[in-house]
């Protein structure tokens, strides 16, 4: 009975099975090809899949390769790449019947967008490399200027109206500033002759301009209703950790193999200070950027408490400099002093005076670890926000002072000789974190902080990237909880002595955080209400040194061999998190690829 029914089904399918299906798919997507279009139970069938005439291997599990699922009923490809283009056939045999189903797959990257923009505004031109690809060069943008005629958009031309937002990033989105009617048309983003995306831009006539107005936006920041609430502190801790990992993922994407260092608490500090004067869409954008809930009125009070809590090991200071022609709102000035211990300061007459004033403020607030932040201050500067942090911690267990050098293996396999911190039996907690795919060691510092060093499996860039991709806020918090529960054991430790002094590109970071509007069309009515105020520049500079005394101002170390003691030797690229155990937030995050 069963056999009969089965055969009926098989016969009725023959027409469909011998036909060929043409499918277009986008790179990066997941494709599932069914051998039959319905579900049934053929226990005796023998199914084989072929790709361009060759049998699909059942054992190949590498990403992007085709995988046979459910005894052959499905073929799954994820993520789809250009290499998956071709003919797929499913051959199904039962007794004396054989059926073949064929799919023709075309991988088509040219996703099409239509962008409508009002004259004078900035038009984004989206373009992405497939997630699995390795970005070696930026994509090129062309404008179609006639049938089969294309003009290259040279970013150096045209008063720099066209700009690539994130060079050498998977995100190759460009923008056209101050659009004019002539910008309408079709744009194509391509790399090595292959089209990655096409964008049709429509430019619309600008309506009569609405004059800038702060009406309805000038009230002071709302008071925190429940100053002693127990939930305020964990909300801010979670926000900072989430924000920190978001910043790290942006930075690692644009700098896949360099040394990295930044202080999330410093960047978060300056953005929350600015939030105090932000209203309307700008307030929402900053809240989203720093990952705080929209109606969290206590954010500034919690930032103040956090600064006070950290004061033993980390000094954090904010400062706002503004154009002497402007009078900042009195409530903003008052709240700035109340929450950020910072009285906004007028800029002086000349660029030289301002540069000196700002650089000496920075030097003072970082205990002279960073003496120089700006080279000049443009006379048109309206607003500058600064935040400086200085951290100084001593190892709880000191390193041997015996001077020693050792080889550090870089990502490309080259060796460099570096001075070492070495200890034969250092008491530290160490584990292998399965979730992060890294060996982790925690080195206790004075001031209730710890340095966590995450050591990928090898010096290979793919192993480093694997750890970085897994470093979500949840995974990092889980790791920290886990390591805290492990008791320290004697470990042979070898760390490179390092000194990092890095200025990440804040302008790129601000855009990635969704804050481009701060530079163009900000609502800072809580800060200044007479006319539109925009931010001119954002900068961040972080410094960290690992010395035999301890960690100064920032983050550090680790790896493993096994001899008499378990050992941790960070003589290859690693990631470090300088963590405040007292406040449970990251203070500095960095990556060392070349000490």
Q: Which is nearer to ligand NAG, 106 or 371 (CB)?
A: 371
Nearer to ligand NAG, 209 or 330 (CB): 330
**CB atoms near residue 7 (< 10 Å):** 14
- Closest contact distance (angstroms) between CB of 280 and ligand NAG is 20
| CB 357 to ligand NAG: min, Å | 13
SS3 label, residue 373:
coil
Which helix (H) or strand (E) segment holds residue 418: the answer is strand 415-433
> Phi and psi at residue 284, in whole multiples of 5°?
-60, -40
| Minimum CB distance to ligand NAG smaller for 335 or for 516 | 335
For residues 449 and 129, give the distance between their C-alpha atoms in angstroms, rounded to a whole number: 40
C-beta of 297 vs 460, nearer to ligand NAG: 297
Distance CA 518, CA 286 (A): 9
CB of 323 to ligand NAG, least distance (A): 10
Residues 133/191, Cβ–Cβ less than 8 Å: no
Question: Between 272 and 390, whose beta carbon lies closer to ligand NAG?
Answer: 390
Rounded least distance, CB 553 to ligand NAG, Å: 12
Least distance in Å: CB of 361 to ligand NAG? 9
Question: What does the alpha-carbon distance between residue 114 and residue 400 come to, in Å, rounded to a whole number?
Answer: 63
Q: CA-CA distances (angstroms) from residue 106 to 22, 83, 103, 296, 574? A: 8, 10, 10, 49, 40
Distance of closest approach, residue 275 Cβ to ligand NAG, in angstroms: 18
Of the pair 89, 392, the CB lying nearest ligand NAG is at: 392
Q: Which residues bind ligand NAG (CB under 6 A)?
A: 327, 330-331, 334, 364, 367-368
Residues counted in the chain:
595
Residue placing its CB nearer to ligand NAG in the complex, 368 or 462: 368
Q: What single-letter DSSP state applies at residue 562?
A: B
Q: How far is CA 143 from CA 36, 189, 491, 532, in A?
A: 44, 9, 61, 34
Query: Cβ of 475: how many Cβ atoms within 10 Å?
Result: 16
CB of 451 to ligand NAG, least distance (A): 24
Note whether 527 and 275 are within 8 A (CB): no
**Do 240 and 292 contact (CB within 8 A), yes or no?**
no
CB-nearer residue toward ligand NAG: 141 or 221:
221
* Minimum gap (Å) between residue 123 Cβ and ligand NAG: 35
């Amino acid at each position: 009975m069963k056999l009969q029914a089965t055969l009926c089904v098989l016969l009725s399918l023959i027409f469909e099975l011998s036909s060929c299906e043409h499918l277009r798919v986008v790179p990066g997507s997941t494709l599932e090809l069914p051998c039959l279009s319905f579900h049934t139970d053929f226990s005796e069938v023998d199914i084989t899949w072929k790709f361009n005439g060759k049998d699909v291997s059942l054992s190949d599990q590498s990403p992007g390769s085709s995988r046979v699922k459910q005894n052959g009923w499905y073929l799954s490809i994820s993520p789809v790449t250009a290499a998956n283009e071709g003919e797929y056939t499913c051959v199904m045999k039962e007794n004396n019947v054989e059926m073949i189903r064929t799919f023709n797959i075309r991988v088509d990257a040219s996703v099409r967008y239509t962008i409508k923009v009002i004259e004078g505004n900035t038009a984004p031109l989206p373009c992405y490399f497939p997630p699995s690809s390795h970005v070696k060069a930026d994509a090129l943008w062309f404008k179609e200027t006639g049938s089969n005629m294309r003009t290259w958009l040279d970013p150096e031309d045209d008063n720099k109206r066209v700009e690539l937002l994130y060079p050498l990033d998977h995100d190759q989105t460009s923008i056209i500033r101050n659009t004019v009617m002539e910008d309408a048309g079709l744009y194509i983003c391509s790399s090595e002759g292959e089209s990655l995306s096409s964008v049709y831009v429509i430019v619309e006539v600008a309506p009569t301009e609405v004059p800038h107005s702060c009406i309805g936006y000038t009230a002071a920041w709302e008071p925190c209703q429940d100053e002693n609430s127990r939930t305020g502190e964990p909300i801010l801790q979670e926000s900072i950790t989430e924000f920190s990992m978001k910043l790290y993922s942006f930075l690692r994407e644009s700098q896949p193999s360099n040394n990295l260092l930044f202080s999330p608490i410093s960047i978060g500090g300056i953005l929350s200070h600015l939030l105090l004067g932000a209203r309307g869409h700008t307030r929402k954008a900053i809240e989203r950027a720093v990952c705080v809930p929209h109606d969290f009125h206590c954010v500034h009070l919690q930032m103040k408490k956090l600064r006070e809590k950290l004061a033993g090991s980390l000094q954090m200071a904010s400062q706002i400099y503004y154009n002497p022609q402007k009078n900042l709102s009195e409530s903003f000035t008052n709240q700035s002093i109340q929450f950020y211990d910072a009285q906004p300061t007028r800029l002086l007459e000349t660029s030289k005076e301002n540069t000196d004033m700002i650089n000496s403020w920075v030097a003072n607030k970082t205990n002279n670890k960073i003496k120089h932040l700006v080279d000049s201050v443009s006379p048109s500067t309206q607003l500058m926000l600064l935040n400086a942090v200085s951290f100084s911690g001593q190892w709880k267990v000191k390193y041997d002072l015996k001077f020693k050098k050792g080889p550090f293996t870089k990502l490309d396999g080259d060796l460099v000789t570096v001075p070492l911190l070495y200890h034969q039996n250092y008491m530290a907690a160490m584990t292998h974190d399965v979730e992060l795919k890294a060996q982790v060691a925690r080195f206790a510092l004075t001031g209730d902080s710890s340095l966590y060093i995450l050591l990928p499996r090898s010096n290979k860039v793919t192993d480093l990237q694997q750890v970085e991709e897994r470093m979500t806020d949840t995974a990092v918090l889980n790791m920290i909880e886990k390591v805290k529960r492990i008791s320290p054991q004697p470990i042979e430790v070898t760390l490179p002595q390092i000194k990092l002094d890095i200025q990440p590109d804040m302008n790129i970071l601000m855009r990635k955080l969704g804050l481009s509007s701060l530079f163009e069309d900000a609502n800072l009515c809580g800060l200044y209400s007479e006319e539109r105020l925009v931010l001119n520049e954002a900068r961040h500079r972080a410094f960290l040194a690992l010395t035999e005394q301890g960690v100064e101002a920032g983050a550090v170390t680790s790896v493993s061999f096994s001899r008499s003691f378990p050992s941790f030797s960070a003589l290859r690229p690693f990631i470090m998190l300088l963590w405040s155990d007292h406040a449970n937030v990251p203070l500095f995050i960095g990556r060392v690829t070349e000490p």
